[in-house]
Structure 1
């Protein structure tokens, strides 16, 4: 009897761990928070706030399925907030407004937002859901990005790119950044950010 109960419980756990759908189900508004082997990540981007203070990092690697995987870990964010999060076209983060990062990473010339029938930008990412402690630690996938030289989806081209966190939630619809407000955190990706 105990063995049967144990088998039923293990079976239920196995089914619960199966993910429905594939990469085409993107976006996942609730990114994975599972632990991941950090040695697999090739790049380490430092995140800074508008005062230039380091508040976290983003690690980047080629996905086993499609595009790139990002591990985002940051602190000192607005507690409990939902914050817009995007890849921008230039790898520069000049404080305090980070306008130096340019516009959205949009090599496929689409409009902004996962809910936009003419969208979405390749650099559109799900909102970051910040904990009550002001921290976020998640993994997400961007299927329309690459690190391959010569690919138009390459976020590591000659001028790099930047990861930008905005002050408000992205509405996943409105051009150019989903009414997500000012840029409050930035991380510049370039060839110099490769892990040693």
Structure 2
């Protein structure tokens, strides 16, 4: 009898503490996330990952790239979002042009822009590594109203250019050739 009483007391005493525990966030409440492998041209060791996470007014992009070519190290690089989830073709040309459904001027500093594809420059360290976090409004990885979906019928691509974006020149801010690409798809 004493054992049952102690057990009942212990359960009663511990119940409020157990009920106060915060449950783990369920996958139903987690924001939509898309993981995108990034690669360089054939034969290059370059590899990376972009993680796109839906936010309340846009998308958070976490970018990690390793082993950029020697000539691309220790400098700024433009990064843009392109129309098609296809990183084939010489210089990743199958990814198409920048996402720009309203045909506005290119550039974060352009008074007639920016387009949804325009993002801040990213820095590659002397070892050829990029670690960046960007937030882009005007885009979505869901079907958020009023924003351009990166996951439309032909997807889209994230492209890193050889040089920096001056955020004003047309059509790509003087960013130069495409050196890395990742196809953004729902799968």
TM-score category (smaller protein):
0.7 to 0.9
Q: Which residue of 1 aligns with 2:53?
A: 61
Q: Give the TM-score normalised by structure 1.
A: 0.73
Give the alignment of 1:1-196 within 5 angstroms.
42-51=33-42, 53=44, 55-63=47-55, 65-77=56-68, 78-149=72-143, 151=145, 153-192=148-187
1:60, distance to aligned residue in structure 2 (A): 0.8
Q: How big is the alpha-carbon RMSD for the aligned residues of Structure 1 and Structure 2? A: 1.8
Contact 1:149 1:157 in 2 (8 A): no
How many residue pairs were aligned? 153
Give, in angstroms, the shift of residue 89 of structure 1.
Answer: 0.6
* Distance of aligned partners of 1:143 and 1:52 in 2 relative to their CA distance in 1, 3 Å threshold: farther
After superposition, the C-alpha distances for 1:94-149 in whole angstroms (9 at most, x for unaligned) are: 04310100000112321100111111111111111111221111111001111233
Cα distance in 2 between the residues matched to 1:52 and 1:161: 23
Q: What are the Cα deviations for residues 162-191 of structure 1, in whole angstroms up to 9, with x where unaligned?
A: 000000111100111101111110000111
Q: TM-score, normalised by structure 2?
A: 0.76
Matched residue SS, 1:187 = strand
2:66 & 2:92 partners in 1: Cα distance? Answer: 19
Does the 8 Å CA contact 2:141/2:151 hold for their aligned counterparts?
yes
Regions of 4+ moved over 3 Å: none
* Contact residue 34 and residue 141 of structure 2 kept, 8 A: no
